[in-house]
């Protein structure tokens, strides 16, 4: 099984990250404040140091958490100093709808590897692109899964984004927030460089190519086991 698209494990539990670190399919890692909160993390720098001590040779994205653009910049520079493999996630806007593009341009010019996050349109991609063109390696994360949640097919959006970024190989497109493992196949087909996946989705890759008749039988067997275990009667 081979994919050109790189798989980044998305999570914030150290044990799960280390499990994925041992998986040769995994090329990098992403985190965010929501995942960290769910994992019960209270000391952000301590968590990051622990992760970076264990994972030294693959990119890891850590996100700023301020809503103030100037404070974001301070946090970004601190986060970037944690390791050469660190990318700093900067949301495309703050909650006041203020664009972070000028901030991203300053960070990029200073050599910070930025992962621009929470994009859902290619107008946003076009807005941020000039800020990244002359900088170091960077990522543009389009939340294709959330786009799909609204009833919109994200595939045309992602195809267009691939073309927008094609002249700039140091800027890699991330298919973010996938909802099903088939999104990996879609990302690979269109030349999207990276997809983020939760550990649960990553584990489903193992059944790619599974015989569907056999899978159907196994599903029926599961229903039968559970019905008997529940002791149902009518």
89 is catalytic: yes
**How far is it, in rounded angstroms, from Cα 49 to Cα 67?**
23
Dig out the tokens for 230 from the structure: 């529940």
DSSP 3-state of 140: strand
Give the largest Cα separation in the chain, rounded.
70
**How far is it, in rounded angstroms, from Cα 98 to Cα 22?**
40
Angle between helices 101-109 and 69-80 (to 10 degrees): 30
Closest CA to 106 of 142, 79, 70: 70
Residues making up the chain, counted from first to last:
234
DSSP 3-state of 110: coil
**How far is it, in rounded angstroms, from Cα 101 to Cα 131?**
6
Catalytic residue, candidates 6, 38, 89, 166: 89
The catalytic residues are: 89
């Amino acid at each position: 099984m081979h994919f050109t698209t790189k798989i980044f494990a998305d999570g914030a539990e150290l044990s799960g990250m280390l499990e994925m670190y041992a998986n040769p399919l995994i090329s990098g890692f992403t985190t965010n404040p929501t995942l960290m909160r769910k994992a019960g993390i209270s000391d952000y720098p301590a968590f990051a140091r622990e992760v970076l001590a264990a994972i030294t040779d693959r990119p890891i994205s850590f996100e700023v958490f301020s809503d103030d653009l100037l404070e974001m910049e301070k946090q970004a520079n601190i986060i970037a100093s944690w390791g050469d493999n660190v990318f700093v996630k900067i949301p495309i806007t703050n909650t006041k709808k203020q664009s972070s593009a000028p901030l991203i341009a300053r960070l990029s010019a200073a050599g910070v590897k930025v992962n621009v996050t929470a994009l859902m349109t290619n107008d946003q991609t076009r807005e941020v692109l000039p800020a990244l063109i002359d900088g170091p390696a960077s990522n543009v994360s389009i939340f294709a899964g959330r786009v799909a949640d609204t009833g919109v097919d994200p595939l045309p959006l992602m195809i267009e984004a691939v073309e927008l970024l094609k002249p700039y190989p140091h800027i890699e497109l991330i298919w973010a927030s996938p909802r099903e493992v088939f999104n990996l196949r879609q990302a690979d087909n269109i030349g999207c460089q990276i997809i983020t996946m939760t550990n649960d989705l990553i584990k489903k890759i193992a059944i790619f190519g599974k015989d569907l008749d056999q899978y159907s039988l196994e599903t029926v067997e599961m229903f039968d086991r559970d019905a008997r275990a529940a002791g149902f009667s009518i």
